[in-house]
Structure 1
Amino acid sequence: MNETRWTWIDSRYSGTWIKCRRKEFQAVALIAKRNKIEREACELEPRERLLLRQQRARPVADALHS
C-alpha cells in the first residue's frame, strides 16, 4: 500500500515537470521567433520598424507573457 501511494505521488510530480518543460520549450520557440523579427527590423527605417513590431512582434510578446 505504501509503495502505491509513493508511485502515485511520483507520477503526479513527473506530470508537473513535463508541463513545466513544455512551457519552457514554447518560451524558447517564441523568443527565437521574436529575435528573428528583430533581425528583420534592424534593417528598416524607424517608422517601418515600429509598424513591424506592432504587427508581428507584439502578438509574439503577448503570447510569451500569457
Structure 2
Amino acid sequence: MDFCFSILELKTTTPLLNRTAALKEHALLTIHKTNALMFLEMLKIFGLLSQAHHNDVLKILEKILQN
C-alpha cells in the first residue's frame, strides 16, 4: 500500500525540501484536524489487507489512545 502526502508536512530540524535526507534521519508527521480523516481511512484500508495488518492497526490505535 502506498500513501502519498506533501513533504512539507514532515517536521525536521532542517526542512527536507530541496535536499537529500541523511541516513537514518527521522521526521515527524503530525495528525491534526485537517488530515485526520485521511489517516483514519488509510488505517482502515491497511487493516483490511491481512490479519497481520489488522493486528498492527489495533496496536497503533491502542498506542494513540494511550497518549
Place the TM-score, normalised by the shorter chain, in its bin. 0.3 to 0.5
Q: Which protein is richer in strand relative to its size? A: 2
Normalising by structure 2, we get a TM-score of 0.33
Bigger relative contact order, structure 1 or 2 (CA pairs below 8 A, ≥6 apart)? 1
Structure with bigger helix share is: 1
Taking structure 1 as the reference length, what is the TM-score of the superposition? Answer: 0.33
**Higher Cα radius of gyration:** 1
